[in-house]
Structure 1
Amino acid sequence: MRTQVGIVGAGPAGLFLAHLLARQGIETVVLEARSRAHVESRVRAGVLEAGTIDTLNNLGLGERMMREGMVDDGLDIRFKGRTIHLDLPGLTGRSVRIYGQQEVVKDLIAARLASGHPLVFEANVDRLDGLDSGRPRIHYSHDGVAKVLDCDLIAGCDGFHGISRAAVPEGLIETYTRSYDFAWLGVLAKAPPIADMTYSHHDRGFALCSRRSMSVSRLYLQVPATDTPETWSDARFWDELHTRMFDAGRTEIQEGEIFQRDVARLRSYIAHPMQYGNLFLAGDAVHIVPPAGAKGLNMAVADVRVLARAMASFFAGGSRTGLDRYSADCIDRVWKTIRYSVSLTDLLHRFDHYTPFQRGMQMAELDLIAGSEAARKLIAEQYVNLSTVAD
């Protein structure tokens, strides 16, 4: 087969890019190693900031999101039994929308298949070659048959463990990493959520109350990195959540059936440059963000907005200016987004190695935010629309 842009990976980055390019009349083939059912069932964060909402609506694919997603106008931060309330519209003029990443992916896949443009599931990419030539190729197998996809450009949107970044010759990409010695235990529970997205800093560790609908709560606890979902019984989870959310009377947080649980280990990761020859990387292939701040999906969408414009300019008139500047046009935003999520992580979590002085500094920072509208506005601005920085 031959196409203008070969896209490796049918996660948010690859699917959004395919739709953005299709709108410009650019041919693409999307190859995904997993099955459709697997891709559509991967539960991820679901806080969509303004830039992502606008992108989905501008593509004409936001109808279900606008109908079923929940507008979230507030963000609360608790500490020492106090609550800092961030009125997002009042501070920024914008809100976020709660709509699960897997629901976004379902909408993008359905629209792609309805369009008739190629989207191949269970296509195992073996290698990429010719990346520094004018005719890069994707070698893959599908239904037991080895195939080759000839492209003008390749977009590597296949995540941290994908083959795309590994195809770049060693030494040409520099990586920056920070790992954490704790994880997030996340559960989905059949229980009405509390009023606002709520982070909590407690001496026993971080907690978060979020939502997936008015009848399903998404709840998190900071746990040791060695813990597994089986480490935590339902009773132990609810007891700890009430404690860390300062719900001493157990009257605010409603308990319900826990029907899904997982453990996510935290890290920060940046790979730069985000390109090599005619290979361009986006999303988790080049950056991983701690989940505080809910930026992962939004970062991926911001990447491919930049990349789609550069590719459209190339195919329209042959200019490589945008392609050559792709990494440079993204990197400041990537660092700023990572900085925001890391700063929230550092502020809200318990670090066992912290001295009393360092824990005191966390409390002082939270006290400052509680008493300063300017500080609350700065956090709110980054929460609702950071992905559009330098876009």
Structure 2
Amino acid sequence: MNGANTAFVLISAALVMLMTPGLAFFYGGMVRVKSALNMLMMSFITLGVVSLLWVLFGYSLTFGDDIGSGLLGNLDHIGFKGINPESLWGTKPDAVPVLAFAFFQLMFAVITPALISGAVADRVKFGAWTLFITVWVTIVYFPVAHWVWQADGWLFKQEVIDFAGGTAVHINAGAAGLACALVLGKRIGFKKDTMRPHNLPLVMLGSGLLWFGWFGFNAGSALAANGTAANMAFNTQIATGVAMLGWLAYERIRHGAFTTLGAASGAVAGLVAITPSGAAVNAWGAIIIGLVAGVVCSWAVSLKYKLGYDDSLDVVGVHLVGGILGTLLVGLLATDGVGGLDQLGKQALGAFTVLAYSFVVSWLLAKAIDVTIGFRADEDEEVGGLDQAYHAETAYDFSAVGSSHVARHTVASIQDQAGADAPQNKKVDA
């Protein structure tokens, strides 16, 4: 066992775990206040559900020896059978404990279904969502991760490069988000009512936590404290910063403002795009990837209004499009003789195979849930807010504010609206 690498992998796993609460804050600030807690819970619930499934059979299906087709691992390690603290992953002298590797990969499995939640915000039954992620990680995520990252997975053997999750995480989640959005239909008031983020500081906090945790996500995928990890961490920072600038420049030209939401979204787009390719490109490649991702993803999020699908929080525009861009650009920008048209073809095979599989299976699963127990919240629950409907709570409690202060503020506001000449001694029914 290599102690330095083991410590590096464990720290990276903890950073990736932090990304799920970061995602919850990022998404939670983007929705309307009446469903903010529900949005947080849709991410947090994956920490419990997927952790349990990972021990029961998820790790074995993903990283167990292949059953012979390159499609799925066996069940030799069900319940972590045969794995103990002394079991090693990798080759000496760089090997780390299997439990450290499994802990790291578990966090990828946790955040991937959480990403989908942004596409269906404001309109999903919480129980149905929990059922969806339980089945989805079993029949979609675990097999796809096996294809991409296990040595005998079929896409791995096709030499598809996905260093840290462009296909298995982002394209996978983005395609599933699109499928679910189409099954559920549009939110009530889509393109009619204002659906502004209720808390942009929370969005910025969430994006900052994602950015911070992503160094574990990307650099940690080297599974060693070495030059590859350093290159990946450096390129992650460069691409993310440039993507933020590209997004802001595009929206300034198109919409006349540099928005905080744009800065946060641009940063996430850069993080997504550099994920599959960062270890195979140099700093100039990272700049190009970041710039392309920032501009193209900013343009892509507007497609939902033109095409009529309601991707609530832009999962398709950022994660699906960003994942495709990052995966394909490996073929054009990879260094050390890896890049070229041949590699571009391999990357396209990986990207669009995962997209098609995830979309079709996710659509069928969402449809099955919808026609059986119902996937979409009732109209009254959606209009009134999912926080009260499913969690019996509200995100913000103003009851502690003095009633006299509230009354005075309300009266003053009404009088101001009535005009400066309104009688100040007239009784106002607040």
TM-score of the superposed pair, with normalisation by structure 1:
0.25
**Larger-gyration structure (1/2):** 2
Q: Which has the higher strand share?
A: 1
Q: Which has the higher helix share?
A: 2
TM-score of the superposed pair, with normalisation by structure 2:
0.23
